[in-house]
Structure formats: structure tokens, C-alpha cells
Structure 1
Amino acid sequence: MTTTGSERSTPRDAAARPGAWTLGLSRGAIELKQFFRQRDQVVFTFSFPVVLLLLFASIFRNDVAGAGITASQLYVPAMIAAGIMSTSFQSLGISIAIERDEKVLRRLRGTPMPPASYFLGKVWLVLVTGLLETVILLVVGVAVYDVELPTGGGWFTLAWIFVLGLTGCAMLGIAISSLPSSGRSASSVVILPFLVLQFISGVYIAIDTIPDWMLNIGALFPLKWMCQGLRGVFLPESAKVLEQAGDWEFGRVALVLAAWCAGGLVLCMLTFRWKNRRDG
């Protein structure tokens, strides 16, 4: 009996074929190369939160009554949280919608690459850019506004807030990428809710001056909890009085962010599309 070439090569090819994780690393390298080759995008991504931090911290420099900190110091953890969400939620929400509109996703779906590898590549992208953004804001906060770096377990708290917050926001960004009807409308659809969340989550406005009903809406999303957790990492215990509950609530921060990681994954699975609606 004659054996065809495909039948002879299938077992060997299957054994030699790289797995989803390896392909995800390769895809991540491609995503990073594409990102850093666009110099204007790199400059805007990393400078925008820094510029906002310098502006707000320069305008509002007075001591915060009863908290033992300055308003400038209050803005540093808030802008770090906003920077994490910017490099994950906003970046993925817009870029994936554009790739879908330009049929990049459709072409990738037709290749042998597992779908998981595409998302792993995006995870590597937001992980690297989010980490760089955080380091830059930390350097500015320590050098210009006398923010103290965490000690001991504070670094561990910073790490899990970063990982859970970045993951939850990335899941939310992937989910919202299916909402724009085209790549052109992606920026408007994604930036508007992100901007609103920044105002009601304690990024631009001190948490103790925001109405409770707005804080309760913000509490449904991860940004408010990232801000709160990072304030607990970088600010002294005396600053607890500014919080809605009078405490950092690290347990609740972890619970909400973890819930967004799990719930966001389910939301992505239910809403993600490889093609535009008009393509069928």
C-alpha cells in the first residue's frame, strides 16, 4: 500500500510544530517591534501620563488636611494606575479594533497559529509597556515629588496590584474592542469611558471630594481599586482618612481585581469577534 506524503509527514510535523506558548512569545516579539518602530506612538504613550502628572501635581501642591501628604504625592499612585490602564485597556481596545477593521485578525485566523498565541502576544505587549510606564512614573514621583518607594512587603503588594490590574484591564480592553463598528470609531468608543472612569475613580480629583454615588459607580471597575491599592503602597498610614471606607482595603482590592480577571476572560470569550459585523 502506498503512503501519501501528508500521511508520512503528519506525525513528525506535529511533534516539531511549536506550541501555543512558543508562538505567543514570537508573536509578542513582533508586537513589541511594531510598537517601538512607531516613534510618535511610543512618545505619546509614555509621555502622556507623565505630562498629566506634572500638570496636576504642579497646579495642586497644597498639603492635604489631616493626611500628612501633599496633593502632588496623591497624584503619583493615581497616575500610575491610570498609566497601567492606558497601556492595557485603551491600547488593546483601539489596536484590536483597527486590526479587525483592516482584516489583520481575519488573516491571522486563517493561519495555523493557535488563537491563544495571538492573545499571548498582546499580553507580552501590555506587560512590557505597562512595566515601562510604571517605572517612568515612579522615577518622576520619587525624584520630583518626594514619594517614598515601598519597603518589604510593599513591593509584593505593588507586584500583585500591577499584575491583577493589568490583566483585568487587558481583558476589558479586548472585550470592548468588539464594540466599535469600525477602526475609525475605535478611539472615540474606547477613550470616552476611560476618561469618565479617571474622573470618578480618584485619578484627577481627590477621592474625598468625589460624591459617594460616583465612587460607587467607579467601584464597579478596576481603576478605582488600583488607585486605592497603590495609594496604600506609596502613601503613609495617615492618608487612610481620605478613603471612602477609611482604610486601604487590600483584601477587597485583590478580590475585585481578581474578579475582573476571571469575569473579563468570560466576557472576552462571549464578545470577541475575528471579523467585523459587516463581513458576516
Structure 2
Amino acid sequence: MNTLRLGLLRGGLEIKQFLRSRESVVFTLAFPLILLTVFGAVFGGEIAPGVTFTQYFAAGMIAAGLLSTGFQSLAIQIPIEREKGILKRLRGTPMPRAAYFIGKVVMVLAIGLLETILLVAVATLFFNVTLPENAGKWLTFLWVALLGIAACTLCGVAFSSLASSGRSGPAVVTPVAIVLQFISGVFFQYTELPSWMQDIASIFPLKWMTQGMRSVFLPDSFAAQEPSGSWQHGTIALVLGAWVVAGLVLCLLTFRWTERD
């Protein structure tokens, strides 16, 4: 209980630090909103009967926002903290090491919730994206979001060990996040991508997160437009769950409190 309490206190500090960093706010919170606004204003028309491109894109951007909050932000923040010696000093304090990670999880959940609310609000107010009308779709939204952000958070912590310094973090992480968004059906209709690109995307969590969000915000009739002809909720849960386990294992094997040298 003491570890949990310290972790929650650490989480409050992490949230304050995040909101005080203009770079973090811009790239994590503002950038997905800017993309949603720009793409929604530029691209129109229907991609299927009763489904506009904006509806399709908004569902993908909600998933991409969770990727940005969980994976991208942590994979950039942690190398900076490691380079500045913050992690080394924290390890030398009586604070349990688990409290540090609990604090990161609290921060990711809080910022992810704020990001999702903002994206949904902009999509519904300015681009006529309709909200789900039954509890089943909201339940799907909840478990896809939780599994997705858990997988992204753990992968972000593990990926943070690849950056050789805090300065190189964005250069290592940002291209990966952008490529995943392009091949996972965020910016383009997934079925219009080359088959080899679809095969690569299906390995990673974002493709399944976007598909899960489409099942929430698009009509059930659109499931026929998916590669399998259905939403594949069972497969979505299985793949995201597998990435949660894989991410946890990678964190335990690769996380470093100090720089390599």
C-alpha cells in the first residue's frame, strides 16, 4: 500500500511535469488534434455508403492519440531522465522502484483520457462524427482503449532503452510512430494499402487498435469492408493482450536506470 501511495503521488508529479513542458503538450496533445482538424477539413466524401472519410480518420486518430501518449511520450521522456541522472538518483532513494513505474502509468492514463476526450469532442462538434448509442460499443471502446494503452505504455518503456541519449530519443522514436500510423489505417483506408504493408502492420498493436475503434464509431455494415469481413474483436483482444505480455517481458529484460557508458 505504501508503494501504491508513493506511486500515485509520483503520478501527480509526472502529470504536472508533463503539462509544464510545452514540447510534450504540443507533440502529444496538440499534434493529433491538429492532424484531425487539417485532414477533416481537407478530405471529404464517402468511402462507403453512410461512412465519410472523416469518420474513418477520426477513429484512427483516437487510436493514434493513445499510441502517442503511451509509446511515443515515454520512449522520449525516459532517455532524457536517464541522461540527466534523474533515474540514477531515484534508484538511490528509499522510494520503491515500482513507484516510479506506477507514476508513469498514472500520467499516461490521465493524459490519454484527456487526449481521447479532446479528439472525440472535436470529431463530434466539427465533423459530425456520431457517438455510439449502445452500451456494447462503449464497452468495446473501453477494453480496446485500456488494452491498447497498456501495450503502448509497456512498449514505450522497453523502447526507451534503444536511445543512446536523451537528445537522440525523438529521432529514434518519432519515425517509428509515424510509419506505424501510415501503415495501420490511420491516414489511409487500410484495405487500400499494399498487401505486404498490411501484413507488416498486422504484427503491431496500432493496426488492431484502429480496427477496434472503427468498430465503435463506424456502422456495423462497414465491417464487410475490413480484410476479414468482420471486426475480429476476439483477435483484437488476443493480439493486444499478447503485446501487453511481450512489452512487460521486454521491460524487465531491457530497462536501464543509467546510461550504457
With the length of structure 2 as denominator, give the TM-score of the two structures: 0.96
Match of 2:141 in 1: 158
Q: Give the distance between the partners of 2:240 and 2:13, measured in 1 at CA.
A: 29
Q: Give the distance between the partners of 2:149 and 2:36, measured in 1 at CA.
A: 20
SS at match of 1:274: coil
User: Where in structure 2 are there 5+ consecutive unaligned residues?
Assistant: none
Q: Give the distance between the partners of 1:41 and 1:210, measured in 2 at CA.
A: 31
Q: Give the distance between the partners of 1:156 and 1:25, measured in 2 at CA.
A: 26
TM superposition shift of 1:60 = 1.8
Q: Give the total of aligned pairs.
A: 260
Pair 1:89–1:44, CA change in 2 (3 A): closer
Match of 1:217 in 2: 200
SS at match of 2:185: coil
Q: Give the distance between the partners of 2:83 and 2:43, measured in 1 at CA.
A: 42
RMSD: 1.2
Q: Deviations over 1:226-279 (max 9, x none)?
A: 00000000100121132111111111111111111111100110110111101x
Q: Deviations over 1:16-40 (max 9, x none)?
A: xx62111100110110111122345
Paired residues of 2:12 and 2:103 also in contact (CA < 8 A):
yes
Q: Give the distance between the partners of 2:27 and 2:175, measured in 1 at CA.
A: 18
When Rg is computed on C-alpha atoms for both structures, the one with the higher figure is 1
SS at match of 2:60: helix
Query: Given the alignment of the two structures, is residue 147 of structure 1 paired with residue 110 of structure 2, yes or no?
Result: no
Q: Give the distance between the partners of 2:162 and 2:199, measured in 1 at CA.
A: 24
Alignment of 1:24-35 (within 5 A): 24-35=7-18
SS at match of 1:277: coil
> Which of 190, 198, 203 matches 2:173?
190
Q: Give the distance between the partners of 1:112 and 1:152, measured in 2 at CA.
A: 45
Q: Give the distance between the partners of 1:19 and 1:170, measured in 2 at CA.
A: 23
Paired residues of 2:24 and 2:73 also in contact (CA < 8 A):
no
Match of 1:4 in 2: none
Q: Give the distance between the partners of 1:43 and 1:213, measured in 2 at CA.
A: 33
Q: Give the distance between the partners of 1:63 and 1:85, measured in 2 at CA.
A: 26
Equivalent residue letter for 2:61: M
| Identity across matched positions, percent | 52
Match of 2:96 in 1: 114
Query: Given the alignment of the two structures, is residue 167 of structure 1 paired with residue 155 of structure 2, yes or no?
Result: no
Match of 2:66 in 1: 84
Q: Give the distance between the partners of 2:20 and 2:159, measured in 1 at CA.
A: 26
Paired residues of 2:54 and 2:129 also in contact (CA < 8 A):
no
Paired residues of 1:92 and 1:173 also in contact (CA < 8 A):
yes
Q: Give the distance between the partners of 1:157 and 1:250, measured in 2 at CA.
A: 8
SS at match of 1:64: strand
SS at match of 2:120: helix
